[in-house]
Amino acid sequence: MYDISITKETDELRGVESNLWDPSRPDDGLPHTTNPIWYDLFAIIRRPWFNRAWVIQELAMAPQATVMCGENKVLWDELEQVFKYLAVSGFALAFAPMALNNFLIMSHARGVARSKVTQSALHVLMRHRQTLASDPRDKVFAFGGLCSATHDDSLAMKPDYGTDFREIYTMFAVSTLLNSQNLDILSVPRVQETSLNADLPSWVPDWSVFDRTTSLQDWEGLVDKKWIVAPRYMATGLSKCKPIFSNSHTRLGLRGIIVECILHAGPECRSKLDQDDLAKTSDLSFVIHSQRVLKTWEDISACRIFWWHYPTGEKLIDVYWQTLLAGHLYESFEKTQQIFQRWDQTNQAFRCLQLVYLDRPWFLSMIIYGMSLAGGIVWFLGWMGVFNYMLNFSPQTLFKNIAWPVTNRSLFKTESGYIGIGPKLIRRGLDGDHIAFCEGGGLPLIVRPSGDEWEIIGDCYVYGWMKGEFYEMLKDDMKMMWFF
């Protein structure tokens, strides 16, 4: 048996840093970091039970919850204490990052439910998009008990298994748009290639999709060992949307205006956190892919051309890293800038290899093997930055951990030189996608023309537009736009 009463607070009382990797940490009864018992512990939260939709409500509403596994059982509060500590210590991020994230979201949902905090149905569904359900209708119905009765949109969540899930999703979107008077529901990420059906309008989220992409507008989660709630964007100021719908609810009408077209778009920044196996996430091919994506993004943004400036006057390199964070500075500007610079230094060796076309898995594997025989593998990996991609807790990759907005998204540049991040489905070029402002939208929308109507591809972040700067100049020219 091991002591599970250790918390961040007890560490502070003892004057000990909550870092299980610290070799100078005094013996506190916990197993060594190399002990296989840690894999057994994390295997618990990797079980499918922790990802089932109906389990969230059952846990959140229970006065006292007990987790049972075979003949063993433990109070949920005790299990929560263990994994929260492993989260703040950075240890769990190396073994089960996504499983830990799912566990903490469950824990957060229970805390919110017990505190009686008001929650809209959209906020609840956004938080639990990554849960699984065999019936697509349960991706809505399973969370009805977590929504506040004061929100009219929760009425659309009353279980009715005689209704097709497409109609349920559509009516939920209609109800939410009418009652909220904002466009937050359009910030639910779209993943067309994995959608179970293509019959939903582009403005109706497909809740049946299992996807790791986080919403830019309504995001919360673990960042640098802290639970963070992202601040809201106000690209259209305090404006309210007044949606209108076709009789069949297949068309949505909003007042809006096309701002610019997307001239360049880079490849998608894929997430390695879809797998909780450390051996798989350390694959050199993924590291090389990530570096090539970054190189393309840097070329598009021209951030390495230090004598060029952004349309708003700032240095391009500062605009670039703030865009990767979608404008969220969790510390001061200066401290976040230093974090970026430390992270950027770990990529220098890869940039050198790219210049001579040696960023190939076979080449890196050959060097690593040769260096290991010479006893120099630790030095080489540290210089090259591979450890920083393998282990999320590395201090040098703190910037990568807080740059969650870029996961499964692409960086783009507009015809006027503005840069931003948006859906990986973006089409570039003069005949490609456009950026629109619509009343009530916290973020601009990426839209695709089709005759006189538009398809919504997703929302986006554009540096210099997110506080209503452009909207104030354009709001008088808005007209009705129809989305299918």
Average pLDDT on 142-171 reads 76
Assign 1 a pLDDT band (cuts: 50, 70, 90): very low
pLDDT at 51 over 50: yes
Q: Which of 197, 212, 232 is the last residue of a domain?
A: 232
Identify the residue whose tokens are 């905090």. 117
Would residue 80 count as lying in a domain? yes
Q: Over the stretch 187-229, which tens digit does the pLDDT of each residue have? A: 998 875 544 455 899 999 999 887 778 888 877 666 655 666 7
Mean pLDDT in the chain?
79
pLDDT at 395 over 90: no
- Residue 386 confidence (pLDDT): 44
Coil vs helix vs strand at 466: coil
Pair (64, 136) in one structural domain: no
Q: Structure tokens of 257?
A: 């205006």
- In 358-450, where does DSSP find H-type helix? 361-373, 377-384, 386-390, 398-402
- Residue 224 confidence (pLDDT): 58
Lowest-pLDDT choice from 47-51, 62-66, 361-365: 361-365
Name which residue leads in pLDDT, 31 or 456. Answer: 456
Pair (83, 185) in one structural domain: no
Coil vs helix vs strand at 347: coil
What's the number of domains the chain is made of? 3
pLDDT at 414 over 80: yes
Q: Which of 166, 197, 232 is the last residue of a domain?
A: 232
- Residue 44 confidence (pLDDT): 85
- Residue 104 confidence (pLDDT): 84
- Residue 223 confidence (pLDDT): 62
Is residue 264 within 8 A of residue 428, CB to CB? The reply is: yes
Q: Over the stretch 425-483, which tens digit does the pLDDT of each residue have? A: 888 876 789 999 999 999 999 999 999 999 999 999 999 999 888 888 888 999 999 99
Would residue 311 count as lying in a domain? yes
- Residue 454 confidence (pLDDT): 96
- Residue 80 confidence (pLDDT): 86
Instruction: For residue 162, count other CB atoms closer than 10 A to its CB.
Output: 5
Q: Return the percentage of the chain with pLDDT > 70, whole number.
A: 71
Assign 145 a pLDDT band (cuts: 50, 70, 90): confident
Query: How far, in Å, CA of 271 to CA of 292, rounded?
Result: 14
- Residue 355 confidence (pLDDT): 66
Pair (33, 149) in one structural domain: no
Would residue 239 count as lying in a domain? no
Average pLDDT on 227-243 reads 86
Pair (28, 124) in one structural domain: no
- Residue 19 confidence (pLDDT): 57
DSSP symbols for 30-67: PPPTT-THHHHHHHHHTSGGGGBHHHHHHHHH-SS-EE
- Residue 383 confidence (pLDDT): 42
Q: Over the stretch 321-358, which tens digit does the pLDDT of each residue have? A: 999 999 988 778 998 888 888 888 777 766 666 665 65
User: What phi, psi does 124 have (nearest 5°)?
Assistant: -65, -45
Average pLDDT on 19-46 reads 71
- Residue 393 confidence (pLDDT): 39
- Residue 344 confidence (pLDDT): 82
Q: What is the value of pTM for the model shown?
A: 0.82
Would residue 479 count as lying in a domain? no
Pair (163, 139) in one structural domain: yes
**Beta bridge mates, 447:** 434, 456
Query: How far, in Å, CA of 432 to CA of 430, rounded?
Result: 6
Would residue 455 count as lying in a domain? no
pLDDT at 148 over 70: no
Average pLDDT on 401-405 reads 76
Instruction: Give the best-scoring range by mean pLDDT among 75-84, 90-99, 160-169, 338-347.
Output: 160-169
Pair (148, 219) in one structural domain: yes
Domain that holds residue 380: 278-406
Assign 87 a pLDDT band (cuts: 50, 70, 90): confident
Q: Structure tokens of 213?
A: 């992409």
Pair (341, 282) in one structural domain: yes
- In 62-188, where does DSSP find H-type helix? 76-88, 97-115, 121-127, 138-141, 165-180
Would residue 424 count as lying in a domain? no
Lowest-pLDDT choice from 33-37, 182-186, 325-329, 348-352: 348-352
Pair (159, 100) in one structural domain: no
Pair (40, 58) in one structural domain: yes
Would residue 436 count as lying in a domain? no
Would residue 442 count as lying in a domain? no
Instruction: Give the best-scoring range by mean pLDDT among 98-112, 291-305, 327-341, 412-426.
Output: 412-426
Pair (145, 41) in one structural domain: no
Instruction: Give the best-scoring range by mean pLDDT among 109-123, 186-200, 262-276, 463-477.
Output: 463-477
Is residue 453 within 8 A of residue 484, CB to CB? The reply is: yes
Pair (306, 401) in one structural domain: yes
Average pLDDT on 131-136 reads 91
Pair (304, 224) in one structural domain: no
pLDDT at 35 over 80: no
- Residue 276 confidence (pLDDT): 43
Query: How far, in Å, CA of 360 to CA of 364, rounded?
Result: 6
Lowest-pLDDT choice from 65-74, 241-250, 271-280, 299-308: 271-280
Q: Which of 86, 112, 138 is the last residue of a domain?
A: 112
Q: What are the respective helix, strand and coil percentages of the chain, to the nearest 5?
A: 40, 15, 45
